[in-house]
Amino acid sequence: MTGKTLYDKIWDAHLVDCAEDGTSLLYIDRHLVHEVTSPQAFEGLRMSGRTVRKPGNTIAVPDHNVPTTEGREAGIENEESRIQVEALDRNAREFGIHYYPVSDVRQGIVHIIGPEQGWTLPGMTVVCGDSHTATHGAFGALAHGIGTSEVEHVLATQTLIQTKSKNMKVEITGKLAPGVTAKDITLSVIGHTGTAGGTGYVIEYCGEAIRALSMEGRMTVCNMAIEGGARAGLIAPDETTFAYVRGRPHAPKGAQWEAALAWWKTLQSDEDAHWDKVVTLKGEDIAPVVTWGTSPEDVLPITANVPDPSDFTGGKVGAARRSLDYMGLEPGQKLSDIEIDTVFIGSCTNGRIEDLRAAARILEGKKIKVKRAMVVPGSGLVRAQAEEEGLADIFRQAGFEWRMAGCSMCLAMNPDQLAPGERCAATSNRNFEGRQGRGGRTHLMSPAMAAAAAVTGHLTDVRELMQPQAEPA
Amino acid sequence: MEKFTTLHGIAAPLPLINVDTDMIIPKQFLKTIKREGLGVNLFDEMRYDDDGNEIPGFVLNQPAYRDAEILIAGDNFGCGSSREHAPWAIKDFGIRCIVAPSFADIFYNNCFKNGILPIALPQEQVDKLMADAEKGANARMTVDLERQEITTSEGEVIAFEVDAFRKHCLMEGLDDIGLTMEKSAAIDSYESRAAQSRPWV
């Protein structure tokens, strides 16, 4: 008998029912909820007289709409945003689920506070009405985004109707070079496989370069599994994972910790497991990268030039032409010559403490040469820690706005938006047309690369700004 | 949920790959707490200029396609966010069927929850349907879910695959939650087992 992958093992451990055609009912351990994709689901419950089956395993936080300026407790100016956040307040209270309101220091982006509070644990199933739920896969939890109908389904039944995905292994061998980070790994993988390369699969990331990443870095890698089309990304738990989880408010304690740990240690793909697809990249070959187009697959090393649409084939020729037109770029232009107006550091991809440290290392003692730059910590606790470590001062002295926690300019549902034609170096996850504001132009990159662009005013190879003796980022 | 059995209507061609959920329904329209009324903002940034005027060249603004009920599109349709506002907007506009070489996973699931039939076909067949759609309003296609067939305006029949359970739910207009509630004994028994094996959850 062939062995099982980590995905197979978590799937089997959560199977409630399986029909002959493979349609399965999967048990959900943690349900995370935010204000944008949940109001219609709660309304649906109300209309059909249903309740939340496991309120204790359901965690809500407003993050997409919230302003990130200080003094925001006074209320949200935009009426629709305010109504949406108020609806979440009301629903959380009415249905008795865990809730972190805007006024709570623990408030933040749902995918940052879930792990931070110890809600996310290895071997769990985690869902949220948000595609970046893939983030939680960094703990060896099966985590993926769902639509609002499915949010209602999970609220009512604590299960999800699923068909099993195929298994894909993405191995990153060797070591990363200095200046190369988790963001460069995940973007490079998408550049390699394309945004539909993972469709129908759950990805397990493995290999020496993945093992060497911190939990923060692993979350960055898994966060963008969805941008590669995969339902979820996974990294098998190890000592790094256990060390991160231990002592978190909702992590098991005492004898339960020992029991949990014993099971978590079995959560690895077997040697003889079957993989439907395998992708291998050498860590040494990965460079600091940026995106040039309007799809996350439009990835190139910072040392490259803007491609010519005619270099592509099929539908990508027209798509690349449309992208360059939208982005205001010419084929052959050096990527490092592209001037930047705005820098955004934050999001569920790169709004954690390690991301802020990496950016601050580049910014220390320098001033920004862009029109505006903002750093939006992923949670109130990340913000507090960064203040304690002196990072906030480095950002402020460099000319960055130091903001409160939220999704902010990653998707521009709150007032943090790009103007038409404004060009942004962003640490977020999507460079789609209009994503950060109508007509806004987004280049995705790592926090260190975004910081480098901030101090030079153009896309920049961060390695040029690093001290020779500097530690690898 | 509204049933889907057969559909005879106008197909609009949208020959773009990677049509993402931000294109389908930009974020400013996600602030609603309702499911209805999003059709007017479907493809908002491609459909209207900065002043809110219709952009005449966009397919759904053209007289022939204003009443389209089928959309023919490029690879990886619906990539990006999990926002169900995307299928809600499509449905609210009046489109009940989308044909593309491939779909993003979450969007594909969301369609079935809203009475929309997404059909994945090989590129050559999508090309054929795209050419048929480009003929305009007089060239109507028929989508027959029961027989799993699309018939072009020329009478050519193209077969498609669909998961049997999803087909059943779509044809009967079944509510998933109601179906799952019938299995509550199995959920109860799973929960008691899990309370023993994984008490920390």
What is the residue-wise DSSP string for A170-215? EEEES-PPTT--HHHHHHHHHHHH-TTTTTTEEEEEESHHHHTS-H
What is residue B175's predicted lDDT score, i.e. its pLDDT? 85
Domain total of chain A = 2
At A336, the pLDDT band (50, 70, 90 cuts) reads very high
Residue B135 amino acid letter: K
What pLDDT, on a 0 to 100 scale, did the predictor assign at position A469?
52
pLDDT at site A73: 82
Window A:52-111, CB contacts with B under 8 Å: 53, 57, 64-65, 78, 80-81, 83-84, 87
Give the closest residue to A389 by CA, choosing from A356, A427, A411: A356
pLDDT in tens, A339-385: 999 999 999 999 999 999 999 999 999 999 999 999 999 999 999 99
Cβ atoms A223, A185 nearer than 8 A: no
Instruction: Identify whether A74 is part of a domain.
Output: yes
Q: Is A348 annotated as a binding residue?
A: yes
DSSP per-residue string spanning B156-188 = -EEE----HHHHHHHHHT--HHHHHHTTHHHHH
Of all residues in chain A, the one with the smallest CA distance to B201 is: A29
Q: Is A128 annotated as a binding residue?
A: no
Q: How far apart are CA A137 and CA A120, in angstroms?
A: 9
| % chain B with pLDDT above 70 | 100
For A442-458, what is each residue's pLDDT tens digit?
Answer: 999 999 999 999 999 99
Q: Which residues of B touch A64 (CB under 8 A)?
A: 30
Whether A134 and A23 map to the same domain: the answer is yes
CA A126 to chain B, closest CA, distance in angstroms equals: 11
Q: Kindly tell me if the per-residue pLDDT of B184 is higher than 80.
A: yes
Asked whether the predicted pLDDT for residue A407 surpasses 90, the reply is yes
CA B71-B76-B79 angle, to 5 degrees, is 100
Contact A37 B18 (CB under 8 A): no
Answer yes or no: do B32 and A80 touch at CB < 8 A. Answer: yes
Q: Show residues of chain B in contact with A259, CB under 8 Å.
A: 199-200
Beta carbons of A432 and B22 less than 8 Å apart: yes
**pLDDT above 70: percentage of residues in chain A:** 99
Q: Which CATH architecture has domain B6-197?
A: Alpha-Beta Barrel (3.20)
- Under an 8 A CB cutoff, do B87 and A147 touch? yes
Q: Please say which residue of A253, A277, A301 terminates a domain.
A: A277
pLDDT at A472 over 80: no
A 110-169 residues with CB < 8 A to B: 121, 123-124, 129-131, 133, 144-150, 152-153, 156-159, 161, 163
Are A326 and A396 contained in the same domain?
yes
pLDDT band at A202 (very low <50, low <70, confident <90, very high): very high
| pLDDT 10s digits, B43-64 | 999 999 999 999 999 999 999 9
Which DSSP category does B103 fall into?
A: B
Chain B residues closer than 8 Å to A196 by CB: 18, 75-76, 79, 102, 104
Provide the CATH number for the domain around residue A206: 3.30.499.10
Residue of A nearest to B113 (CA): A149
Count of CB pairs separated by less than 8 Å, A with B: 186
Asked if the structure places residue A473 within a domain, the reply is no
Mean pLDDT for all residues in chain B: 96
The pTM assigned to this predicted structure is 0.96
CB-nearest partner of B164 from A21, A25, A29: A21
Q: Are A9 and A263 in contact (CB under 8 A)?
A: no
**Closest Cα in chain B, distance from residue A351 (Å):** 19
Residue A145 pairs with which residues in a beta bridge? Answer: A128
Q: What is the pLDDT at residue B138?
A: 87
| Residue A247 belongs to some domain of the structure | yes
Q: Which residues, other chains included, contact A456 with Cβ-Cβ below 8 Å and sequence gap of 6+?
A: A369, A465
In whole angstroms, what is the distance from residue A183 CA to residue A206 CA? 15
Q: Which residues of A touch B180 (CB under 8 A)?
A: 25, 153, 156-157, 159, 161
What does the pLDDT average to over A269-294? 98
Domains of chain B, by residue range, sit at: 6-197
Q: Give residue-wise pLDDT tens across range A138-182.
A: 999 999 999 999 999 999 999 999 999 999 999 999 999 999 999
Confidence at residue B12, expressed as pLDDT on a 0 to 100 scale: 98
> Is residue A305 included in any domain, yes or no?
yes
Domain that holds residue A122: 6-277
Record: contact B201-A57, CB cut-off 8 A:
yes
Given a cut of 80, whether residue A473 has pLDDT beyond it is no
Quick one: A204 and A330 in the same domain? Answer: no
Q: Is residue A469 part of a domain?
A: no
Q: Are residues A299 and A249 in the same domain?
A: no
